[in-house]
Amino acid sequence: MMRSRMVKTVLWCLLIWLSCTRHVHAYETGGVTKAILSNGVTILVRREPEAKVAAIEIFVRMRASDENEANTGIGQLLAVSIFAGTETYSAVRLARLVNQVGGNFHAVWQWNYMELYAVTLPDTCEETISLLADALRNSKLDPKAVDFSRSAILKEVQRQQDDPFNSAYASVRRLVQRGTRYDRPYLGDADKLRAISPRQLKEFHHRILSSDRIVISVVGDVDPRRVARKVEVCFGNMSRLGSTSEETPEPDPRAGAAIVQRAGSSTYVMLGFPAPGVENPDYPAMCLANVLLGGNKSSLLFRKLREERGLGYQVGSLYPALRGESHLAAYVGLDSTRATPEALEAVQAAITEQVNVLRSGDFTDQDLERAKRFLVGKHALKHERTRDRAFYLGWHEAIGLGYQYDFQYADKIKAVTKGDVVHTCSRFFDSTGGSH
């Protein structure tokens, strides 16, 4: 009887939710209520009664065709400029309103999305949603503000070009992912950034604001129904401009690249390989391969190159979570005074040797279990803050995995076998190209 009453209560709450929003469907999993407005805007709300703050994340999904070779950097320019005043509020007035709600507002551009987020008090959550919506939909993009943003980005572009690690990584990424969206500079091309006009920026802004690209996640001591009503008021009249679907080609398993980047006192040897995107079934196995290779201080590269052979002062690997296709880069940093041709050749051979260990399965079950514990623990630590929990809910939904993946990730990692890792590495880590 008690179970029957509980089921009826849940159904009644969902009926109230349904009556408050125009949507395709609404349901709850893992304590998260999801609704989709009739125009495609997706809403995720997780009520946490003990939370002292509320975090709001707005994601705008991006396609490869949104930013192209001709306007590289325009998305970055939009994100940095978007809070500099709106058609409703001046920049000064908007800043004051942000302070009044105790908010911490930011905008970030990534290859697969633009993210706007704020952290505020639960009592001012709805007002904060209104301010974020106004900034996203009605940003004035004043020419003076855009020029200021452009100047800041250009300084960061130069700083990264002067940094040997960032420079080496950019070179490897461009070689491994040539022909994809990821072979373009993340911050943009300096010459093309300078050429982007305010009119072009406004046209780009208008073009990406399709309602079916919007994912909003809210975590805190908030009422999901009230959040949904506020989202509908702010976003319910947005237009659906077109589908966000796009082809996600498989990476070329034969491609590979090796880079030697020297700048001042530091030299980096970096090898890059194609890797599966987040929606690929091989993604969990590649996450583990990254940790096994260079993702922590128990990794093959750290133990075999740094501890046993003393090759380099910095060793590791990285594997960004990207849609469609991605890449894994393994690296060793050397003092330039020791970077003789013979030493560089030895380092590249040593990295390749450890990559082949993954391909052959010549690592222990204990190595694999350590990597699993590391990833599961790291995933848990990433959810300590309210803002982090809001981010990962929205990110998983926006990236195409569905927010439920956030709760399933640990189990997926635990389920990976040694054979899965070997199969994935054999498929993607075929060979490397020549040095550049």
Residue 117 DSSP one-character state: E
Q: Are 209 and 39 in contact (CB under 8 A)?
A: no
- Output the tens digit of pLDDT for each of the chain's 436 residues: 434 444 343 444 444 444 444 444 455 566 899 999 999 999 999 999 999 999 999 999 988 778 888 889 999 999 999 998 888 888 778 778 777 776 678 999 998 999 999 999 999 999 999 999 999 999 999 999 999 999 999 999 999 888 889 988 998 998 898 888 888 888 888 999 999 998 999 999 999 999 999 999 999 999 999 999 999 999 999 998 865 555 555 555 445 677 777 777 888 899 999 999 999 999 999 999 999 999 888 899 988 888 778 777 889 999 999 998 899 999 999 888 888 888 888 889 999 999 999 999 999 999 999 999 999 999 999 999 999 999 999 999 999 999 999 999 999 999 999 999 999 999 998 755 444 4
Cα distances from 320 to residues 63, 272, 283, 292, 325, in angstroms, run 17, 12, 11, 15, 10
Burial class (CB in 10 A: 0-12, 13-18, 19+), 376: middle
**How many residues are recorded in the chain?**
436
> CA torsion angle for 245, 247, 248, 250 (degrees, to 10)?
160
Residue 208 confidence (pLDDT)? 92
Extract the tokens encoding 241.
């401009």
The C-alpha atoms of residue 282 and residue 248 are separated, in whole angstroms, by 14
Query: What distance lies between CA 64 and its chain's CA centroid?
Result: 15
By the 8 A CB rule, do 111 and 186 touch?
yes
Residue with tokens 């008090």: 121
Residue 235 CA to residue 130 CA, distance in Å, equals: 9
Domains of the chain: 21-235 (3.30.830.10), 257-428 (3.30.830.10)
In this structure, are residues 272 and 259 in contact, taking their beta carbons and an 8 Å threshold? yes
pLDDT on residue 10:
40
Which residues face 274 on adjacent strands? 327
Strand order in the sheet with 113-120: 23-29, 32-37, 42-47, 214-220, 54-61, 113-120, 106-109
Question: Who contacts 240 (Cβ-Cβ below 8 Å, separation ≥6)?
Answer: 39, 40, 210, 211, 212
* Alpha carbon distance 58, 216 (integer Å): 5
Spatial neighbors of 77 by CB under 8 A, at least 6 apart, are: 146, 149, 150, 153, 188, 193, 196, 201
Nearest to 132 by CA among 113, 106, 114: 106
How far, in Å, CA of 52 to CA of 326, rounded? 37
Residues 6+ apart with CB under 8 A from 347: 269, 305, 311, 312, 332, 334
Residues near 137 by beta carbon (within 8 Å), at least 6 away in sequence: 209, 234, 235, 238
Residue 426's alpha-carbon distances to 139, 323, 352, in angstroms, are 48, 21, 13
